[in-house]
Structures are given as C-alpha cells and as structure tokens.
Amino acid sequence: MIIPQTMQAVRLHGVGFENLKVEQVRVPVPNDNQLLARVDAAGVCASNLKIIAQGNEHTFINGMDLKKYPAQLGDEGCITIVTAGRNVCDRFPVGKRYCIQPAVNHPPINHRDRFRDSAKGMQKMAVGYSLPGHFAQYILVTEETIAADCLLPVPDETMPFYAAALCEPISCAISGQDRHIHVFQKSPSSPREPRLGLLPGGVTLIVGAGPMGRMHAEAALRFKPRCIIVLDISESRLQWVRDVLSVRAKSAGIDIHALTNGAGLELMKKVTGGLGADDIIVAVGVRALQIQAQAWLARGGTLNLFGGLKKGEHVIDLDTLRVHYDDIRVVGSSGGSPADIAETLRMVAAGEFDPGLHMTMVGSLDQAPKALEMVKNTETDGKIVLYPHIRPTPLEPAKGWKLGDEQSFLKRLETSRFGVGGC
C-alpha cells in the first residue's frame, strides 16, 4: 500500500469559518500502540458548526489552543487500516475496514499539557475535536480510541463506503430511542418490569422531519408501533416520509403519517382517543416545542428532547404535575456508544436501514468548508458525504444512492484505492 508523505486535511485554527482551512500536512506516523488508516468516506455533520463557532471554548476541546494545535475535523467516517503499530497489529490487520465511535470515553493519554489544567478531571475525548477527525486523507487512530473499544469492524466488505460512514449519525437515533422507558405490569399485584425502546403497538410522534427526524422515523419501524406520526412545516420533507417509508411501514403493519403540525396533532388525538402519544421525539432544537410536547404525552409516556437547544435558551419549563400524577418521563441523549454503532452496522448489513435514502450530495474533501456553509444556511436537506481520495470536484446530487452509484462515482474520480493524492 502506497502511503504518501503528505496529505490533504481540513483543520480549524480558531473561531469562525475564516479559520477553517483545507491544508497540505504531513501524514502522521503511528507509534507502536497506534494505527494509521485511510479515510474512505466522511460524513458532514452539523455538530462541526459548534466547534467552528466556539473554538477552544468547546467542551470537547477543553481549552486546547487551536492556533498552536489545529483541530482536524470530521466525526463521521469509514476507514481502512493501512499501518498498524507492532503492539496492535494482531488485533487490527492492515486492509480491514472500520467505523469509529467518535465519543471516546477515555482520559487523554498523550499531550495532556495541551488541555485546560493539564487535562485534570478530563474523562472524555472526541474524534474530530481533541482527536484527529475524518476530514483528511488519512487519520491517526490513537491509544484512547483503541482502549475505549471505539473501533467497530464493518461486518460486510461489500458495504458501500457512504453507508458505513453514515452509521454514526444513524446510531445517534438508535441510541436516543433505546433510552425510552416503558413500565409493564401483568397485574396490579405483579412486579413492575421496565423495558427500553419505543412502545410496541403504541403511537410514536416525531416532531421535525429534517435529516435526523427522518432517520428517527426509519429507525422507529424496528419497534413496530401501531402508528407513527411525523410533524413538520415543510411539505417537501413530509413528502419524503410518505414516498420513502410508507411501503415499508405498511408491510410491517404500521400506519405512518406525515402531516403539518396542526393536522398531525389532530390526527394524534383521533388515533389515541385523546389520550396522547406513547413516545414523542422532538428532533428539532425549538424551545417552545419541547415545552408544548409535554402536554401531548399519554400517561406513562416518554418525551425525548433529542434536538439540542442553544446555551441561554436551554432551560425549559417542566410540568411536574404530569411527572408526578401521569408518570411521564423526559429523556435525552447526545451521540451514542460503540454498541450503537455495532447495532447500526448490523442493521445496514441486513438491509434493515438504508443510509443512501438520507443522502443529498457527494464531493471531494476540499468541498468541506462549502458543505458546512450549506448545512449552516440550511441550503441542503440531507447528508453530504465527502471522498478524500478523489480528484477535486464540486458537490453534486446523490439522492437515493446505492453501491453502484458510489462505484461509478469513484471509478470516474478516484486517484487510486490507497491513492497518492496527498503527495
């Protein structure tokens, strides 16, 4: 495998897009306990906008001076091992493909002096923040990622690069839904039994049909609620739900409806007899909706505040009477765990989830700043995937992608399988 001395990487040197640069840098050399991997594909995540806006004040950066130590962005990706240190080569063979869980629950091992208070009390790192990310042709996989079991093998070598790369955002929906809690009791004298996940045979309400809301809608099918209602103000987003998920829902015996907010709430009242939804996922960061949604829950229901709110707007009113008397639960999540990535990889390999349905555009690595600007300005309504080893090319549409689409695209533009595009 030909590994060049330099590579292209997208790095953040401080606050703002003016400090986001596509650069030529040296390819890192792994030590005996590290790995070097080729980045096959990288997903563009809206979370990058937070680090661009906050710089070294971002929680995951923990005070690291980005002017001295630029952050290599990119928390979503699919990689192939190209060099393995002698202490880890038996576990991670060259040529094997992996996905990385970017939330690394492990304290820093290297460069502790770069962080606030020399990393005192720091228990978590993150790929694309304090650890090198996927917006590069090659990525250094460090000891922390390996120790935290955050390398998940791709179970099927025929899985498209884009599909494996998008397992991380999909896993966030999987993780969020697995936090729902419902309490079962066979009889009044029987012990209570808590179960995780959406209520089978219940009514699920998803507020927001953006990229993550649509992933939630597809992921919700696995629990077999009797009815899924998706709310949004955008007719085009709602039409996606109708066009893409209706046939699969019907074959599973699930009624799925995509309606504007008012009509959707009226339908929810009708199908539940006014009792409310058993599970509600607020997939948008809108404070008013997170407050209102508490009233839409059925007794014993679960409200998932999935969409993050801005600092300063993040404290909301909680109806404690509903918590006390109606036994409602409020949950949330930020990212997932290695187990969520593994489950998502299994689902994708088994055909239970189709990542290509959630794509809108593809392009080369140098398009990362433009892609992030588009996400910031809501100029795209789906996932963008970048391929670091292709010739520079503008972003182009990629809706409903399949393996053949990716293969044709790479054949047209890729420099080589383990290319020398960074030389």
pLDDT (tens digit per residue) in 31-72: 999 999 999 999 999 999 999 999 999 999 999 999 999 999
- The verdict on 298 and 350 lying in the same domain is no
What's the per-residue H, E or C state across 205-257?
A: EEECCCHHHHHHHHHHHHHCCCEEEEEECCHHHHHHHHHHHHHHHHHCCCEEE
Whether residue 162 sits in one domain with residue 86: yes
In a domain, 373, yes or no: yes
Closest CA to 372 of 364, 380, 54: 380
Least confident of 71-85, 109-123, 308-322, 390-404: 308-322
End-to-end CA distance of the chain: 14
pLDDT in tens, 349-401: 999 999 999 999 999 999 999 999 999 999 998 999 999 999 999 999 998 99
Q: Which two tokens stand for residue 320?
A: 């404690």
**CB 369, CB 22: distance < 8 Å:** yes
Domain boundary among 282, 316, 331: 331
Indicate if 163 and 18 belong to the same structural domain.
yes
Smallest CA-to-CA distance from 272 within 201, 173, 180, 167 is with 201
Q: Record the tokens describing residue 361, joined without a space.
A: 């555009």
Other CB atoms within 10 Å distance of the CB of residue 5? 10
* Dihedral sign of CA atoms 201, 206, 211, 212 in order: negative
Q: Please indicate, yes or no, if residue 372 is contained in any of the structural domains.
A: yes
Asked if residue 421 is part of any domain, the answer here is no
Q: Are residues 260 and 297 in the same domain?
A: yes
Burial 133-164 (b: 16+ CB within 10 A, else e): bbbbbbbbbbbbbbebebbbebeeeebbbbbb
In terms of residue numbers, what domain contains 199?
193-331
Q: Report the CATH number that the domain containing residue 278 is assigned in CATH.
A: 3.40.50.720
Q: What percent of the chain has pLDDT over 70?
A: 98
**Cα–Cα distance, 124 to 250 (Å, whole number):** 42
297 and 279 in one domain?
A: yes
Q: Is residue 184 part of a domain?
A: no
Question: Is the pLDDT reported for residue 423 higher than 80?
Answer: no
pLDDT tens digits, one per residue of 191-244: 999 999 999 999 999 999 999 999 999 999 999 999 999 999 999 999 999 999
Same-domain status, 220 and 72: no
Q: Is residue 179 part of a domain?
A: no
Asked if 263 and 230 count as a contact pair (C-beta separation under 8 A), the reply is no
Domain count, the chain: 2
Tokens of 350: 């088994």
Q: Are residues 163 and 35 in the same domain?
A: yes
CB atoms within 10 A of CB 88: 19
- CATH number for the domain that contains residue 389: 3.90.180.10
Separation between Cα atoms, residue 309 and residue 287, nearest integer Å: 7
The two beta strands, 329-331 and 297-305, are parallel
Helix 338-349 to helix 167-177 angle, to the nearest 10 degrees? 110
| 359 and 317 share one domain | no
Residue where a domain terminates, one of 307, 331, 355: 331
Say if residues 182 and 205 touch (Cβ distance below 8 Å).
Answer: no
Residues 325 and 372 placed together within one structural domain of the fold: no
Per the DSSP assignment, residues forming a β-bridge with 151 are 100
Q: Residue 46 falls within a domain, yes or no?
A: yes
- Stated as kind and residue range, the H or E segment containing 146 is helix 143-147
**Are 131 and 70 contained in the same domain?**
yes
pLDDT for residue 419 is more than 50: no
Taking only the tens place, the pLDDT of each residue in 320-349 is 999 999 999 999 987 889 999 999 999 999
Residue 217 near residue 291, CB atoms below 8 Å: no
Let me know whether 209 and 81 are in one domain: no
- Model confidence at 416, pLDDT cuts 50, 70, 90, reads low
Examine residue 176 and state whether it is found in any structural domain, yes or no. no
Q: What are phi and psi of 389, to 5 degrees?
A: -105, 25
Q: For 9-70, what is the HEC assignment?
A: EEEECCCCHHHEEEEEEECCCCCCCCEEEEEEEEECCCCHHHHHHHHHHCCCCCCCCCCCCC
Contacts of residue 377, defined as CB under 8 A and 6 or more positions apart, other chains included, come to none
Residue 420 within any structural domain of the chain: no
Give the domain-ending residue among 331, 354, 369: 331
Q: Are residues 31 and 136 in the same domain?
A: yes
CA dihedral 230, 306, 66, 136 (to 10 degrees): -50
